[in-house]
Structure 1
Amino acid sequence: MKTTIKKWGINGEGIAFHEGKPVFIENAIPEEVIEFDIKSDENTYLIGEMTRLVEQSSKRRYPLCPIWKECGGCALMHVKYPAQCKMKEGNLKETLIKYADYNGRILPIIKNPEPLSYRNSCKLPFGEEYGELYTGMYERDTNHFQKMERCYVHSKLLEQTRQAVLKIMNEHHLKMYDDKKKTGYRTLVMKEFDSKIQIIFVTGKENLSEEFIHDVTQLEGVVSIWQSVKTETKREVFGDMRFIWGEEKMHLQLEDIQLSLLPRSFFQLNTKQSVNLYNVVKDWMPRSKTTVEAYSGIGAISLFVKDKAQEIIGVESIQDAVDNANENAMLNHADNVSFICEDAGSALAHLVQEKDVDTLIVDPPRSGLDDTMKETILKSKIKTMIYVSCNPATLAKDLGVLKKEYRIVKIQPVDMFSQTPHVESVTLLVRNDDYRPRRRFDDRKDRDYKPRRRFDD
C-alpha cells in the first residue's frame, strides 16, 4: 500500500492514515511518500512497516550508526538535527493542547551543543559470542540482544574506555553471567565526569583478580572501580556494592557548584545541558522565604538555587541519595539547604503546615506527580511552582489538574537527549491569586510603545 506520512508520533514514528485509523510506521518522516504493510491491528490504530521509500523528505539524513534500527535507542538517528528539535517542540505543544488545553507560551527549545557524543554514562548488559564478551542492548519490545560495536551518543572518552575495558576482559578470558552457576559478568556500568571515569562491574559470585584490576586501572581517565554482586532476578541492576580501587565517589563541577556522587546516585545523562536546564530554574525562581524541592536526588537543583531562598528543603525517597545530597550541601557551604528522606507528597503535606512554603520545585520520574502530591499542591498556599519534566504526556496531564489553582506562565523545552524523541522541559506556574502579568519590552516596537489615554465615560 502507498501513503503519505502526515505527522510525527511521540516515539519518533511517522503517522499516516488508513481507512480512518492512524498508522504508526517506524523510521518514516512527515511528508514522505512510502509503501507499507500492516503488521498489526490494535483496534483504534494500526502498526505499519515501511517496505519502500518512494519520495524522501529533505529532513532525512544518512544515519551514522549501522545498528540504529535494531538497537532502537536512537530512534531519530535518520533525521537532521534541526528537524529533530522541531519535532520535539511540535510534540510538546500538541500534547499540552490535548491533555492540558494549553496553547500558550512555549519558548524555542534550547538546542544541544553536542548532538552526538554527549552521554556521560552507560549501563549495558554483557553478551558472549564465540567465547568473547561484548556489550549491547535488547531490541525494543523483544528479547533479541543486539551487539554494540560503537555508540555515537556516548562521550568520546566513555566510548573509548568501554571498548578498552572489553578488550582487557577478553584478554583475561572472562565469561558472561551463568544463572545456574551464579558466576560471571552481568552488566557494565560507567560514568564520565570532567574526563574522569568510574567503572562498576555487576557480577555474580565473582572474585576480580588483581591482574585484571591492575590492567583496567592503567586506562586513561579511570579513577574509580566498584563491583556489584547480584544473583537475584530482580530488575534492579545493582546488588551488594563493593569498593575495589581508586576514588569511592565521583566529583563533578557545575559552574560554581561541586557535586560528589556515590556509585548508585543518579545524575542527568547530559552534563552540559543539565547546566542549561538548572540555569532556567534558577532564572525563573523568585526570591523566596522557604523553597521545597521534591524528588531532589543528590541535590543539584537545590544547590544551584541556594542563593535565592532563605531556606531550601529537598525531599527524596532514597536514603543513599539523601545522604549524598546532605554531603553536597556541606561541600558547597550551603547552610540554608537540607534534605530529608520521605515520600514527596507526604513530606510536602506536613511541610506546608509547619512552614511558609512559597516556592515549590518538582522534578518527578517519568510517571509524573502522584495523586497525593497534586492534592497537596492544590490545597496549599504555594505561590510559585517550577515543574521539571522528562515526559510531556505526564506533564500535560498533571498541568491539566494543577491549572485549577495555577496559571501556566511559560514553558522551556530543553534537548537533553539528541537522536531520541525524548524532550526535557521546565514549566513556570503561578497561583491564580498571585498572578500579575508584566508586559515585556523586548523589541523595537515594544520600546516605542506609549499607552494611550482611554476615554470610557
Structure 2
Amino acid sequence: MRRRIPQDKKFVSDVRIVDIAEEGKGVAKQDELVMFIERAVPGDLVDVELLRKKKNFLEGRVTHIKESSKHRVTPFCEYFGTCGGCKWQHMHYDAQLLFKQQHVDNALRRLGKVDTACMEPILGSAETEYYRNKLEYTFSNKRWLTSIDEEVDTNERDALGFHIPGRFDKILDINHCYLQQDPSNMLRNAVRDFAIAHEISFYDLREHEGALRNLIIRTSSTGEVMLIVVFAYPEEGQVELLMDFIKNEFPTLASLLYIVNQKRNDTIFDQEVEIYSGRNFIYEEMDGLKFKVGAKSFYQTNSAQAHELYKIILDFADFKGDELVYDLYTGAGTIANFVARSVKEVVGVEYVASAIEDAKINSSLNGVENTKFYAGDMKDVLTSDFVLQNGKPTVIITDPPRAGMHAQVVSRILEIEAPKVVYVSCNVATQARDLAVLQEKYEVVRIKPVDMFPHTQHVENVVLLHLKR
C-alpha cells in the first residue's frame, strides 16, 4: 500500500547510508522505518527527498551528498541511473565484492540456519567490463528521451537498446555498452543506422506492429561472433535488404541468423531459426573442451568466470576417478563434460529437451564417452527407479534455476544419500531454503561465493555438503 507523504516531511537531512539493497539502492533508517534511496552508497551522508511511503518502508532519492562514502566512485557509463543494468557502478569493485559476500552470509544464516564459519572469500571477476558473451537488444518506435535528447529536440523516436525499468514500452537507445566486447557496439549501431536510413520500421510494443523486434549478439572466447536479427512484420524485401547489408559490412561473422517472431512475447525458444550466412552455431572453448553454442543454447554469459566456477566445483567435489556423478539441471552439459574427465561416469538431467541434444553433441564433439543425458521434469525423472537404472551416485552436482529445487527433488536427494552434494546457485535465498531441508542429513562443509556479474547485485554461490555419519 502506497501512502502520501506530507509536504513538510518530504525532505530529510543528514541521512547515513548503512547498507545496499539488491536493486542498487542505499539503505538507511528513518523513524524505525527502512529507507531505500536511489544512487546512495553505504557510508554516504546525504539529504533525501522521500518519494513513496509504504507500510514497512520508505523510498527516496539523494538531493545532496554531504559526505561521500569511501566506497563511492564515478560511474563510467553515461547511461548509469537510466538504464536498468549495472546498478552498482557507483561503488568501488572491492566494495561490491564485500557486500555480495555479506549478502550470501546473511541469507544462509537467516534463511537456511547455516553455520557460515566455513565460508571462503568471494572470487572476484578478473574482468569487470566487457565480460558478457551475450546481449539482447530491443527495437522500439518509442524511444526514451534523456535530458540530452530533449536539449537537442530530436525528432527521432526509433531506438535500439534496453528497456527502461518500469516502462515496458520505452527503450533507451544505446551508443556504447560496456558489457560486451567489440564488434558488439559496432554491429548494433550499424544495424540501427541502416534501418533508420532505409525506413525499416521499429517494433511498437503496444500495438504489436513494425518490422524489427530484437537483436541478439553472441561472442565467444574463440573470437567467433553470432548475430541474430528478430523480425516481427517485415515488408517484402526488407529481410533480404538488412541481412545483405550485415553480411557485406561484417563478412567475418561466423553465424548470421534471423527469426520471424509474431508472438506477443520476445521468447525465441519456440521459433524457427533461419541461417542467412555461415553456421547456425559458434564455438566456445574451455580448458581444452569445445562447445557448440546455437541461437537457443544456454551457456554461462561470463565465459572466463564460468571456467573459474567450474574449477571450484572440481575442487569441492575432490574426485578420485571412480565416481558416479549426477549432474542435475545440466543444461547443455557444460559442467557434465567438464568433470567427465575426472570421474567414471556422469548422468545429466535437464528439463529442456533441446539443451539435452546440445549436451550430447558437446560430448561427441569432445570425444567424451562416459556421459548419459536424460530430458524431463526433474521431479518426475529423479525417481527410485531412475537410481536403480543408473546407479547410486557418489556425488550429486545441482545447479538449478533461480527458483531453486522443487521440494520433491530435495526430498529425493535426501533419500538417495549420496556422500557428497555440490550445490551451485544463482539465487542464494532459494539455495538457503533448500539447504535448510538438506541439513536433516547433510552438513555444510565449504561455501564459496563467485562474482559472475560485476556492477550488479547478482552473485553465484557454491556449497559443498557431506552426508552426516
1:197 corresponds to 2:225: yes
Local SS of the residue matching 2:264: coil
Q: Tell me, in whole angstroms, the C-alpha distance in 1 between the residues paired with 2:454 and 2:174.
A: 19
Q: Which moved more, 1:299-308 or 1:392-401?
A: 392-401
Among 163, 166, 175, the alignment partner of 1:141 is: 166
1:311/1:337 contact within 8 Å kept: yes
Q: Please list, as runs of the form range in 1=range in 2, the aligned pairs for 1:391-406 lying within 5 A after superposition.
A: 391-406=427-442
Among 357, 370, 374, the alignment partner of 1:336 is: 370
Q: Tell me, in whole angstroms, the C-alpha distance in 1 between the residues paired with 2:52 and 2:240.
A: 53
Return closer, same or farther for 1:141/1:405 CA change in 2, 3 Å cut-off.
farther
2:200/2:238 contact within 8 Å kept: no
Deviations, residues 399-424 of structure 1 (Å, cap 9, x unaligned): 11211111111111111101111111
Equivalent residue number for residue 441 of structure 1? none
Q: Which moved more, 1:239-248 or 1:186-195?
A: 239-248
TM-score, normalised on structure 2? 0.88
How far is 1:77 from its partner? 0.9
Q: Which moved more, 1:328-337 or 1:174-183?
A: 174-183
Equivalent residue number for residue 451 of structure 1? none
Equivalent residue number for residue 252 of structure 1? 284
TM-score, normalised on structure 1? 0.90
Equivalent residue number for residue 215 of structure 1? 245
Equivalent residue number for residue 306 of structure 1? 340
Equivalent residue number for residue 6 of structure 2? none
How far is 1:162 from its partner? 2.1
Equivalent residue number for residue 46 of structure 1? 58
How far is 1:122 from its partner? 0.7
How far is 1:315 from its partner? 0.8
1:269 corresponds to 2:297: no
Deviations, residues 188-244 of structure 1 (Å, cap 9, x unaligned): 111001221111111114355444323212316412111111111135245332222
How far is 1:260 from its partner? 0.6
Query: How many aligned positions are there?
Result: 433
1:121/1:158 contact within 8 Å kept: no
Return closer, same or farther for 1:294/1:181 CA change in 2, 3 Å cut-off.
closer
Q: Which moved more, 1:73-82 or 1:105-114?
A: 105-114
How far is 1:133 from its partner? 4.3
Structure 1: gaps of 5 or more residues: 434-457
Q: Tell me, in whole angstroms, the C-alpha distance in 2 between the residues paired with 1:124 and 1:29.
A: 29
Local SS of the residue matching 1:58: coil
Q: What code does the residue aligned with 1:111 have?
A: G
How far is 1:110 from its partner? 1.4
Deviations, residues 401-455 of structure 1 (Å, cap 9, x unaligned): 211111111111111101111111211111112xxxxxxxxxxxxxxxxxxxxxx
2:159/2:171 contact within 8 Å kept: no
Q: Which moved more, 1:147-156 or 1:305-314?
A: 147-156
Q: Tell me, in whole angstroms, the C-alpha distance in 1 between the residues paired with 2:408 and 2:291.
A: 31
1:25 corresponds to 2:37: yes
Equivalent residue number for residue 123 of structure 1? 136
Q: Please list, as runs of the form range in 1=range in 2, the aligned pairs for 1:228-377 lying within 5 A after superposition.
A: 228-234=259-265, 236-237=267-268, 239-285=271-317, 286-287=319-320, 288-349=322-383, 350-354=385-389, 355-377=391-413
Local SS of the residue matching 1:333: coil
Measured on the aligned residues, the alpha-carbon RMSD in Å equals 1.9
2:258/2:273 contact within 8 Å kept: yes
1:363/1:388 contact within 8 Å kept: yes
Return closer, same or farther for 1:46/1:104 CA change in 2, 3 Å cut-off.
same
Equivalent residue number for residue 449 of structure 1? none
How much identity, in percent, do the aligned residues show?
27
Q: What code does the residue aligned with 1:331 have?
A: L
Equivalent residue number for residue 61 of structure 1? 73
Q: What code does the residue aligned with 1:265 have?
A: S
Among 189, 198, 208, the alignment partner of 1:172 is: 198
Return closer, same or farther for 1:290/1:375 CA change in 2, 3 Å cut-off.
same
How far is 1:112 from its partner? 1.0
Deviations, residues 147-171 of structure 1 (Å, cap 9, x unaligned): 2221112223322322233233334
Q: Tell me, in whole angstroms, the C-alpha distance in 1 between the residues paired with 2:293 and 2:308.
A: 20
1:329/1:338 contact within 8 Å kept: no
Q: Tell me, in whole angstroms, the C-alpha distance in 1 between the residues paired with 2:449 and 2:83.
A: 26
Q: What code does the residue aligned with 1:307 have?
A: R
Equivalent residue number for residue 154 of structure 1? 180
Q: Which moved more, 1:177-186 or 1:310-319?
A: 177-186
Q: What code does the residue aligned with 2:324 have?
A: T
Structure 2: gaps of 5 or more residues: 1-11, 144-154
Q: Which moved more, 1:86-95 or 1:31-40?
A: 31-40
Q: What code does the residue aligned with 1:384 have?
A: K
Local SS of the residue matching 1:155: coil
Local SS of the residue matching 2:62: strand
Equivalent residue number for residue 442 of structure 1? none
How far is 1:381 from its partner? 1.7
Q: What code does the residue aligned with 2:120 have?
A: L
